[in-house]
Amino acid sequence: MTDRLQIETTDGIVTIRLNRPEKLNAIDPDMMAALDTAVSAIERDASARAVIVTGTGKAFSVGADIGAFSALGPADTWRDWVRGGHALIDRIASLRVPVIGALNGYTLGGGLELALAFDFCIAADTAVFASPEVRIGTVCGWGATQRLPKLIGRARASQMIYTGDTIPAGQARDWGLVTELHPADALMDRAQELAQQIAANAPLSVQVSKQLVDGAGGVLLGATLESLAGGFCKATEDGQEGLVAFLEKRPPNYKGQ
């Protein structure tokens, strides 16, 4: 694992810290690869109950590493940076366990888009938020034009995206971008408290509830319907009979049960 992330797991709660404080946790290809690896590990870990994502230093993330981004040609930007970033953000959004963002400072550009993939976010009362891509001659690349309007409404999202202005923590809370504000030194304690509340509940109930909420919001709706329907059918008497009959190479005796 790269040093771009710090990861620890305690009692089913996975805490991920973006770890480039000298670059305000700007996201570069190494950090993207590390996040992808972390998501894969969480999906395989049946003991995982909740995830907290935060940043080290005074920023959550100021977004894309402009040095890395500017070095890419148009084809690489399209193929690797934008498509790859979208795939990663979508994987995070569709994790089977809830993800809490603990936004400890600057949450800008791609950092905001990463936060929009979480189930909900709390923030330091000193945090600021922006979608400033138009100020450097580009556009949102990792889903803000789709996710931000759903979260805070079209007009407010349009204002943020078209002006590139920063908004303070209080306004972010009033707009519904984050659910709670806390002093920076109390933020992680509150995130842990919330994660522990989630982890104490029935794991499958929480995870199925998350998939239903995600599906209702348009995240992998087909997968939501098919996975839940598949689990239901397999648990029925007919589902078991069909599998046994296939393995025993005989006609099934279905009873509608």
Rounded Cα–Cα distance for residues 236 and 230 (Å): 10
Active site residue 226: no
Could you say which of 22, 43, 113, 180 is catalytic? 113
Residue 22 among the catalytic residues: no
Q: Which of 133, 180, 241, 248 is catalytic?
A: 133
For residues 179 and 122, the answer to whether their CB atoms sit within 8 Å is yes
Token couple for 165: 């202005």
Q: Burial of 106 by CB count in 10 Å (0-12 exposed, 13-18 middle, 19+ buried)?
A: buried
C-alpha separations of 184 from 23, 55, 123, 151, 192 in Å: 19, 12, 8, 24, 14
Residue 168 sits at φ, ψ, to 5 deg, of -80, 170
Is the CB of residue 102 less than 8 Å from the CB of residue 122?
A: yes
What are the beta bridge partners of residue 201? none
Contact at 8 Å (CB) between 170 and 113? no
Which distant-in-sequence residues (6+ apart) come within 8 Å of 115 by Cβ?
60, 101, 103, 107, 121
Q: Supply the residues annotated as catalytic.
A: 113, 133
